[in-house]
Amino acid sequence: MRTGGPQQAFRVPDPPFVAREVGRFTEPWAMTFLPDGRLLVTEKTGHLRLFDVAARATGEIRGVPAVAYGGQGGLGDVVLHPQFASNHLVYLSYVEAGANDTRGAVVVRARLDLDSSGNGGSLAGLQVVWRQAPKVTGYGHYSHRIAFGREGKLWITSGDRQKFDPAQDLQQNLGKVLRLNADGSVPSDNPFAAQGGIAAQVWSLGHRNLLGIAFDAGGTLWTHEMGPAGGDELNRIERGSNYGWPIVSNGDHYDGTPIPDHSTRPEFNAPEAWWTPVIAPSGFIIYSGSLFPYFRGEGFIGGLASQALVRVRFASGGAQEIRRHAMGARIREVEQGPDGAIWLLEDGANARLLKLTPR
């Protein structure tokens, strides 16, 4: 039993939810709800789908930029501007090709014009807000999750692109959490703003591959990232802090070469929770709805390798896993619906969209 205050006590059912299939997609990566209850769903191959939940009808949003599809790359995250109801701006992340077999993540924004009839629409006035710099070879660790904070700033996760050392270099924005204004300009109060250039974008550094980003009710930012062989992390993101990658990790290199643990280097910010064996985290919400009152304030992390929905409780500035709900498939994305239901996207071809509601 969990208590929600002096007047409340909630008995958590076991299992706590039932899952119902609502739709299917091809290599989906992210989703977000429109004010009218329809869903925008990205597919890695470069399609932005508009899904009518009530009719179970899938349309397409035209005007998506060409993406560099392959490996972990393609079309990524999708979020709405905080004032979407008035400005109709939507933000997308994706991977673009560069010269000499290089690639990098990009965040763009555009006006979403929905068709007056039918289940479709288009993007207009596309504007690049941010780019990974430099573009490098390889097909992994783009991260490119995006979120808006309560003050209207744009937050972007940028992976290390499997290049390790750039995560510690303020002249590159790989392996970082970035904080920008909604138009892509740099806030003057960022921790490294005085250095100018790329460093001015940076809020925190020393990250590996951050595939989840969420704010709790108090405005604290949390991210999770994939570790190497072991050591997946859940981090409380603090201004100007260094999280140690690749100097420290609670995992080791894939070839078995040890990496010093966080405990050996206390000057680096250690994770609040970590996992070995890995869960391969992807997708993340901190629940704030009323449909599951006993979940309010808890985190839900989608597990790829773990094929689970991992439930996390936050307390005293820290966090710990309290339950792992087996889903029988790789979970790519987690989202909270308008009515408080929890929505999941499976990973891969013919992936299911699931709606979780209380038992």
Per the model's pLDDT, the better-predicted residue between 115 and 117 turns out to be 115
Task: Give yes or no for a contact between 222 and 214, defined as CB atoms under 8 angstroms apart.
Answer: yes
Judged against a pLDDT cut of 60, whether residue 174 lies above it is answered with: yes
Q: Nearest Cα to 177, choosing from 229, 127, 245, 232?
A: 245
With a cut of 80, say whether residue 87 has pLDDT above it: yes
Ramachandran region, residue 70 (left: φ > 0; alpha: ψ -120 to 50; beta: rest): left
| Average pLDDT of the chain, as a whole number | 96
Q: Considering all CA atoms of the chain, what is the largest pairwise distance in Å, rounded to the nearest integer?
A: 63
**How far is residue 107's CA from residue 148's CA, in Å, rounded to a whole number?**
13
Let me know: does 251 contact 231? Beta carbons within 8 Å.
yes
Q: Alpha helix (H) ranges present in the chain? A: 84-87
Amino acid in the structure at residue 150: R
For the stretch 202-255, pLDDT in tens is 999 999 999 999 999 999 999 999 999 999 999 999 999 999 999 999 999 999
The one catalytic residue among 141, 144, 224, 262: 141
Phi, psi of 165 (to 5 degrees): -60, -30
327 φ/ψ sector (left φ>0, alpha ψ -120 to 50, else beta): alpha
Query: What are the tokens at 230?
Result: 């072991």
pLDDT in the model for residue 73: 98
CA-to-CA distance for 290 and 336, rounded, in angstroms? 11
The whole-number pLDDT of residue 1 equals 45
162, 229, 252 from 256: Cα distances, Å: 16, 8, 6
Q: Given a cut of 50, is residue 333 above it in pLDDT?
A: yes
**What was the pLDDT predicted at 6?**
45
Is residue 81 flagged as an active site residue? Answer: no
> Residue 7's pLDDT band (boundaries 50, 70, 90)?
very low
Structure-block tokens of residue 278: 């890995």
pLDDT given at position 150: 95
Q: What is the pLDDT of residues 40-53, one digit of tens each?
A: 999 999 999 999 99
pLDDT at residue 5, rounded to an integer: 44
The pLDDT score that the predictor gives to residue 10 is 64
- Per-residue pLDDT at 2 exceeds 90: no
pLDDT above 70 as % of the chain: 97
Confidence at residue 118, expressed as pLDDT on a 0 to 100 scale: 84
pLDDT above 90 covers what percent of the chain? 94
**pLDDT band at residue 8, thresholds of 50, 70 and 90?**
low
Residue 296 has pLDDT above 90, yes or no: yes
Q: In what order do the strands lie in the sheet with 57-62?
A: 28-33, 39-43, 47-52, 57-62, 121-131, 103-114, 89-97, 75-80
Q: What is the pLDDT of residues 10-27, one digit of tens each?
A: 678 888 999 999 999 999
The dihedrals phi and psi of 10, each to the nearest 5 degrees, come to -120, 130
149 neighbors 155 (Cβ within 8 angstroms): yes
Q: CB 61: neighbour CB atoms within 10 A?
A: 24
CA distance 139 to 162: 9
Res 280: pLDDT: 98
pLDDT of residue 4: 44
Q: Which of 7-11, 103-107, 222-226, 271-275 has the lowest mean pLDDT?
A: 7-11
- 311: its two tokens: 């439930």
Q: Render pLDDT for 184-200 as a digit per residue (tens, 0 to 9).
A: 999 999 999 999 999 99
Q: Are 244 and 227 in contact (CB under 8 A)?
A: no
